[in-house]
Amino acid sequence: MEKRTLGKGGLEVSAMGLGCMGLSFGYGPAADTKDAIKLIRGAFELGVTFFDTAEAYGPFENEELLGEALEPFRDKVVIATKFGFKNGDSKTGLDSRPERIKEVADAALKRLRTDRIDLFYQHRVDTNVPIEDVAGTVKELIKEGKVKHFGLSEAGVESIRKAHAVQPVAALQSEYSLWWREPEQEIMPTLEELGIGFVPFSPLGKGFLTGAINENTEFDKTDFRNIVPRFSPEARKANQVMVDLMHSIAKQKNATPAQIALAWLLAQKPWIVPIPGTTKLHRLQENIGAVDVLLTADDLKSIEDAAAEIQIEGARYPAHLMQRVGK
């Protein structure tokens, strides 16, 4: 698989990463450990070298899973994890105090069975802690050799600039896809100016852009999408027009809707590395196949023109979670 570089510090990763959250958290019951390990190792065999986790995924279970799965070839992969929630629990509020960041780093190193974290993200900006202090703490961890690169997730332009001035930010991880394009307004020009990579999560619209979800789909009671306005049955019905667009382009390119959505992201900038997640090996293979789907300038214009006519219904997060983004 082709490689891409995140940030000016030379962090080289596969053009497509693997978001591992869904193996343990967020989208219904956790996957069987043996199956999850098989999937992660299968991704590596297919050329993926960039794996994304967080202490909050579980909490802690996902890091432990990755540590076990990646241990045999640790030096051939890039592991990204995150700090920023009280006790590692995303339901308990934010905590990016310097002492907490250091605690998370030490605990994550043990769970990941490694001596360094390749990319350490602040999961959400904590407005109670100056971002300069957060960046300064990660800078210390980098000097100690515990961390290699610093990242931010769902941060706003002001936070990105302030953090980057203290410790260069290698990557911003935020939601970005054909059905959530808000980062194009201010975030992406800022990243380009500063030389920061972009790691889009939910590049397939939390599964919607694959075409496998419709208005009648029923999610497990523990599935996060049950509380997302964009996934109400009414919104799903209204938003089907975006999936129809993916299908029409996919037919022309002998590809799948998911591959078109991912290929579109890859075509936007050479410093974009999407991290689709899955629990199924055939979906993993399908997603990785997007790297070989070439969208021409005409293809991209066709998608752009058609997408401009589509009004997406529903917020991407419920109100209480929207308060945590863009700070």
The residues annotated with a catalytic role in the active site are 57
Alpha-carbon gap, residue 123 to 121, rounded angstroms: 6
Strand ranges in the chain using DSSP code E only, listed in sequence order:
3-6, 11-14, 18-19, 50-52, 78-83, 117-122, 147-153, 169-175, 197-201
Cα atoms in the 13 Å half-sphere on the side-chain side of 109: 13
CB 11 within 8 A of CB 149: yes
Could you tell me if residue 7 is left (phi over 0), alpha (psi between -120 and 50 degrees) or otherwise beta?
A: left
What one-character DSSP code corresponds to residue 299?
H
Alpha-carbon gap, residue 219 to 5, rounded angstroms: 36
Alpha-carbon gap, residue 292 to 294, rounded angstroms: 6
Alpha-carbon gap, residue 76 to 181, rounded angstroms: 33
Q: What angle do CA 186, 21, 19 make, to 5 degrees?
A: 60
Alpha-carbon gap, residue 295 to 304, rounded angstroms: 12
Alpha-carbon gap, residue 144 to 138, rounded angstroms: 10
The residues with which 42 forms a beta bridge, in sequence order, are none
Strand ranges in 39-196 using DSSP code E only, listed in sequence order:
50-52, 78-83, 117-122, 147-153, 169-175
